[in-house]
Each structure stands twice: as structure tokens, then as C-alpha cells.
């Protein structure tokens, strides 16, 4: 039988691996998308700065269409993704980014969900282990009482059944 900390560590590792495994697949998708349509690769990571709040690549408002044209013109002029994003951030602020950059205080936004998930799994594992331990105590020999399956325990169960049936009869009357 494994110990509680070991089981909690195993559960935490499983949770972490389940959260991290999809990341390489998404990276491959975005790399393939950037080769096919570089404008869409950039605009799919930006949010329209107008009140619609949609992803820029799917935005149909005038501001979104204008920004998609701007990104296309900048790419034709030879600018790279970082330069285009920097100019848009200078004009509209970091609100235009679909996700905050993973540096400084913004790193909390990236780490907190994973940490909360692992902590939640750890707490759930701890409570489930305690609950299972209590179930084993009830099924086994409880402290100060007769062991399950013995004549004394069977007699105690018969007394409880008789008492419950008597109370049910009283309630029906």
C-alpha cells in the first residue's frame, strides 16, 4: 500500500502532465498556420481594440478590417511579427494582446491556473484518502465496539433494525 504523500505526488504529476501535453500540438498548429497565412497568424493572437472585443482575425467591424489591412501592409514592408505587435501595443496598449506576455507580474496569469489545479487535486486526494480511511474503520472493527460479523455485532444490528421498524410503525400511525 502506498503512502498518502506518494499518492498525492502521483496525482499532482498526472494533473500537470494532462495540462501540459496539449501545448506542443497547439504550437505546431500555429507554426503551420503562420506559413500558410502570416497575416492570420499575427491577427489570431490579437484582440480588436474597439468595443466588439473579438479576436482580430475573425473581427468584421471597421476597426478590425482596418487593422488586418495594416498588418498585411506592414508584412509586405518587411517588418516581422514582433515589430508589428510592438507598434500596435504602442498605439493601443497591452489590451490588444490576446494573452499577456509571460514576464514579470503577468507570469502569475500563466502559472496560477496550473498551480491552482495541482493544489486542488492535492486537496481532493487528501480528503478522499481520509474519507476512504474512515470507511475502512467503519467496515472493520470500530473503536470500543464489537468486530463486524461477530455474534455481538449481529445482535447489535438486529436491535437497531427492530428499533427502526418500531419508529417507522409509530410514524405511520
70-85: per-residue pLDDT in tens? 999 999 998 888 899 8
Per domain, the residue ranges of the chain are 4-112, 145-173
Beta bridge partners of 97: 46
Amino acid 117: pLDDT: 96
Rg (CA), the chain: 31
pLDDT(32) > 60 = no
pLDDT(23) > 70 = no
User: Which residues are CB-contacts of 97 (< 8 A; sequence separation ≥ 6)?
Assistant: 45, 46, 47, 85, 89
| Average pLDDT of span 112-126 | 94
Cα(43)–Cα(85) distance, rounded to whole angstroms? Answer: 9
Amino acid 33: pLDDT: 46
Amino acid 173: pLDDT: 81
Kindly report the pTM of this predicted structure.
0.44
Amino acid at each position: 500500500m502506498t503512502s498518502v504523500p506518494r499518492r498525492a505526488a502521483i496525482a499532482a504529476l498526472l494533473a500537470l502532465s494532462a495540462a501540459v501535453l496539449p501545448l506542443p500540438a497547439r504550437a505546431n498548429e500555429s507554426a503551420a498556420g503562420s506559413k500558410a497565412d502570416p497575416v492570420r497568424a499575427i491577427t489570431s493572437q490579437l484582440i480588436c481594440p474597439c468595443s466588439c472585443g473579438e479576436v482580430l482575425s475573425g473581427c468584421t467591424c471597421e476597426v478590425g478590417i482596418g487593422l488586418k489591412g495594416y498588418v498585411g501592409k506592414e508584412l509586405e514592408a518587411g517588418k516581422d511579427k514582433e515589430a508589428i505587435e510592438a507598434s500596435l501595443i504602442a498605439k493601443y496598449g497591452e489590451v490588444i494582446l490576446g494573452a499577456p506576455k509571460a514576464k514579470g507580474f503577468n507570469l502569475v496569469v500563466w502559472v496560477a491556473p496550473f498551480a491552482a489545479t495541482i493544489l486542488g487535486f492535492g486537496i481532493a486526494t487528501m480528503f478522499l484518502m481520509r474519507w476512504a480511511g474512515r470507511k475502512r474503520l467503519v467496515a472493520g472493527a470500530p473503536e470500543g465496539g464489537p468486530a463486524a460479523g461477530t455474534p455481538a455485532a449481529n445482535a447489535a444490528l438486529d436491535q437497531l433494525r427492530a428499533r427502526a421498524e418500531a419508529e417507522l410503525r409509530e410514524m405511520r400511525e
